[in-house]
């Protein structure tokens, strides 16, 4: 297997101390060394040294990694595990790419083809509002078609985003920002995008939202498909290249690591920031007042926000601007919920068992609302809440802030 010398050296920096093991969600669930960070690094070394073949067993251990980065945060040797697993998956993808299954093919089209995604969203709105959804669920047709799980995850869709590139500020202009929408923002999570536009314009920013932007590329990157991830990054680079903006902002924390590569790759030095990070560092105009809210809000911290972006304190700091609100960080927030991009579709049993801990906590706390900064986690947890009959609304923190303006 072709692997760069950087990756070989990085793998050798693992001293096999095992301190990362108790923090790894797949090891916690399966108690198998092959499903631990240390075990996976050993497998990668075996592949590189051609002592191991990339057979199904080896690939399954590597594929079960959630890319949650919990191990990296705990490693005393600061091994860059995330880089190791991404490059290994890319090498395996180019050498042993297996034919994609039905759901994987659907996900791939959804992520890469903007027009197809928007068309599908329109059909989904009709499906949800016409009673067809009820019929499909109760006819039992979805299961044999392999669509039952995906149907259970898709939320009630919000209003479509207008095909408008520019939104002027309300009141005195403080600057210009680009808004990255991504594959979820223009389909399953338009509610968060409407809220982000409302909030940013009220805070004095002109918001620019080029229509020809596309998915950030995180999903293909996690699968090891570097070619597709790079093609998507190029589309986004082109879409935002002509804009004169103070920052490029994204709402789904899971897009963070791939989008920050755009910054490193030279988007004219424009900072690429998660929306909570941006809102925490700007001055809020005196005129913008948030209405009090007498509700209990649980805060879920996605791994991407805490382990990768190191912004775990941002949601609580921001939401504490709302007078009267009671904020409750979810216990064991450091544990992955199992959503992890399309992991919840590829490894449903493991993803659901990782989610159990979150549902148990929410059943005890019974908040009015759960906020999560990553749409993948929000969809996965919300589906679990619906199945468990727990009526807890799940929204992005900016949606809550925008509601209180």
What are the residues binding ligand SF4 (CB under 6 A)? 14-20, 23-26, 37-38, 40, 65-71, 75, 77, 79, 81
CB of 297 to ligand SF4, least distance (A): 27
Between 69 and 117, whose beta carbon lies closer to ligand SF4?
69
Identity of the residue, 54 or 271, whose beta carbon is nearer to ligand SF4 in the bound complex? 54
End-to-end CA distance of the chain: 55
**HEC profile for 96-146?**
HCCCCCHHHHHHHHHHHCHHHHHHHHHHHHHHHHCCHHHHHHHHCCCCCCC
Q: Which is nearer to ligand SF4, 70 or 177 (CB)?
A: 70
Q: Which is nearer to ligand SF4, 19 or 313 (CB)?
A: 19
Work out whether the CA dihedral 89, 29, 78, 44 comes out positive or negative: negative
162 to 80, 124, 213, 278: CA distances (angstroms): 41, 17, 14, 24
Pick 61 or 194: Cβ nearer ligand SF4? 61
Task: Give least dist CB 107 to ligand SF4, A.
Answer: 20
Q: Which of 148, 189, 341 is nearest to 275 (CA)?
A: 189
Query: Rounded to the nearest whole angstrom, what is the least distance from the CB of residue 393 to ligand SF4 in the complex?
Result: 28
Residue whose CB is less far from ligand SF4, 24 or 195: 24
Cβ proximity to ligand SF4: between 24 and 193 the closer is 24
Residue 38 or residue 261: which is nearer to ligand SF4 going by CB? 38
- Write down the least CB distance from residue 266 to ligand SF4, Å: 28
Query: Which residue number, 39 or 217, has a Cβ lying nearer to ligand SF4?
Result: 39
- Of the pair 82, 331, the CB lying nearest ligand SF4 is at 82
CB of 223 to ligand SF4, least distance (A): 15
Angle between helices 37-48 and 81-96 (to 10 degrees): 50
Least Å from the CB of residue 357 to ligand SF4: 15
Least distance (Å) from ligand SF4 to the CB of residue 349? Answer: 15
Output the smallest distance, CB 68 to ligand SF4, in A: 4
The least distance separating ligand SF4 from the CB of residue 7, rounded to whole angstroms, comes to 14
Residue found under tokens 């925008």: 402
Strands 369-372 and 296-300: parallel
Q: In the complex, what is the shortest distance from the CB of residue 11 to ligand SF4, in angstroms, rounded to a whole number?
A: 9
């Amino acid at each position: 297997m072709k692997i760069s010398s950087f990756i070989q050296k990085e793998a050798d920096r693992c001293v096999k101390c095992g301190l990362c093991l108790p923090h790894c969600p797949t090891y916690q669930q399966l108690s198998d060394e092959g499903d631990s960070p240390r075990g996976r690094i050993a497998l990668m070394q075996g592949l590189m040294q051609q002592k191991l073949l990339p057979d199904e067993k080896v690939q399954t251990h590597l594929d079960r990694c959630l890319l949650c980065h919990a191990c990296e945060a705990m490693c005393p040797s600061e091994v860059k595990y995330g880089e190791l697993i991404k490059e290994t998956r890319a090498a395996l993808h180019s050498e042993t790419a297996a034919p994609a299954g039905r759901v994987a093919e659907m996900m791939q089209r959804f992520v890469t083809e903007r027009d197809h995604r928007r068309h599908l969203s329109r059909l989904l709105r009709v499906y949800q509002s016409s009673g067809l959804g009820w019929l499909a669920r109760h006819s039992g047709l979805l299961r044999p078609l392999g669509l039952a799980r995906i149907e259970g995850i898709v939320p009630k869709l919000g209003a479509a985003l207008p095909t408008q590139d520019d939104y002027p500020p309300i009141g005195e202009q403080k600057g210009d920002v680009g808004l990255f929408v991504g594959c979820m923002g223009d389909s399953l999570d338009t509610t968060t995008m409407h809220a982000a536009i409302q909030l940013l314009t009220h805070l004095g920013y002109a918001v620019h939202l080029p229509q020809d932007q596309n998915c950030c590329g995180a999903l293909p990157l996690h699968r090891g498909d570097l070619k597709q991830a790079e093609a998507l990054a190029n589309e986004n680079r082109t879409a935002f290249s002509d804009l004169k903006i103070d920052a490029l902002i994204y709402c789904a924390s899971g897009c963070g690591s791939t989008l920050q590569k755009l910054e490193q790759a030279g988007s004219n030095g424009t900072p690429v920031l998660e929306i909570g990070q941006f809102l925490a560092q700007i001055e809020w105009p005196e005129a913008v007042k948030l209405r009090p809210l007498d509700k209990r809000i649980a805060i879920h911290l996605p791994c991407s926000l805490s382990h990768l972006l190191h912004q775990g304190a941002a949601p609580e700091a921001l939401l504490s601007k709302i007078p009267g609100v009671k904020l409750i960080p979810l216990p064991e927030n450091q544990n992955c919920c199992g959503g992890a991009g399309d992991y919840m579709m590829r490894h449903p049993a493991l993803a659901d068992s990782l989610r159990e801990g979150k549902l148990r906590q929410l059943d005890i706390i019974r908040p009015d609302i759960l906020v999560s900064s990553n749409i993948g986690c929000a969809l996965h947890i919300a589906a679990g809440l619906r199945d468990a009959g727990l009526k807890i609304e799940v929204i992005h923190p900016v949606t809550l802030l925008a509601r209180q303006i």
